[in-house]
Amino acid sequence: MSITNESELIGMQKASEAVAYALKEMRNFAKAGISTKELDDFGGKILEEMGAKSAPYLTYGFPGYTCISVNNEFCHGIPSEKTILKEGDLINIDVSAELDGFWSDNGGSFVIGEDINHHQKLIDASKEILQKAISNIKGGVKISDIGHLMETEAKKRGYKVIKNLTGHGVGRSLHEEPHEIANYRDRFNTQRFKKNSVVAIETFISTTSTIANTQKDGWTMVGNKGGFMAQHEHTIVVTDGKPMILTEANGIYN
């Protein structure tokens, strides 16, 4: 969407505050020994208390309030009583929701407890790349140039990017124009970021894979060549200068 007045900005801020708070609290709640279903229920309760509704459930009938992916699962993991978190697990939580007609999206990868499996370097790369990408976005900048920056930064650190997962426009629904904000230079994408538009910028930084494939459950995605992936995501408003990060309170950079 494009922000045209103050009430729209306030609406987006409230929706973003809900998803950011839910993500932050879920990160704090996550620990070895609990199931991803328990973690999801905790997040769902927070959204409900803030008057927000799960965006993946509303939009796609997703079987959970949030997407929780563990270890070799890249994204869209279904919360389950059978998946028990363990020390050193790489986990990704993606929280998106609707509140009073406004939609916002954010996510982040982190390690459960101590980093015994050495995932932190990948996580740090994803965070740094998201920060750099967002700091270079303003009205008129080519979307493909930001994709090029992300892939270049990933390669510098010895990583790859997932080419069939992208950021996207958001605001009046979960996915809007621009539909694809890729992590690489898509030479066929001639779109530019527009001032006052709301977009969800996200990284998909991978150790070995470049494509994510959907599993038999119809939701969970894993890499075509295995390995691990870290994702970090903020919903922002594009300006003439520094973007406004609506989901900044999630603390994913910390």
Residues making up the binding site for substrate: 76, 175
Residue with tokens 């965006």: 55
Say what angle helices 143-156 and 120-135 make with each other, to 10 degrees: 150
- Edge-to-edge, what's the strand order for the sheet holding 221-223? 73-75, 221-223, 212-214
Residues in the chain: 254
- Kindly compute the dihedral angle of the four CA atoms of residues 216, 218, 224, 227, in this order, to the nearest 10 degrees: -90
Query: Which parts are annotated binding residues?
Result: 76, 94, 105, 168, 175, 202, 233
How far the first Cα of the chain sits from its last, in Å, is: 29
| Helix (H/G/I), strand (E/B), else coil: 134 | helix
C-alpha triplet 192, 101, 191: angle, nearest 5°: 10
Query: Which parts are annotated binding residues for a divalent metal cation?
Result: 94, 105, 168, 202, 233
Cis peptide before 178 (omega within 30 of 0): yes
- Which segments of 103-242 does DSSP mark as H helices, in order? 120-135, 143-156
Q: How far apart are CA 46 and CA 202, in angstroms?
A: 23
- Which segments of the chain does DSSP mark as H helices, in order? 6-29, 36-49, 55-60, 120-135, 143-156
Residue with tokens 């997040």: 43
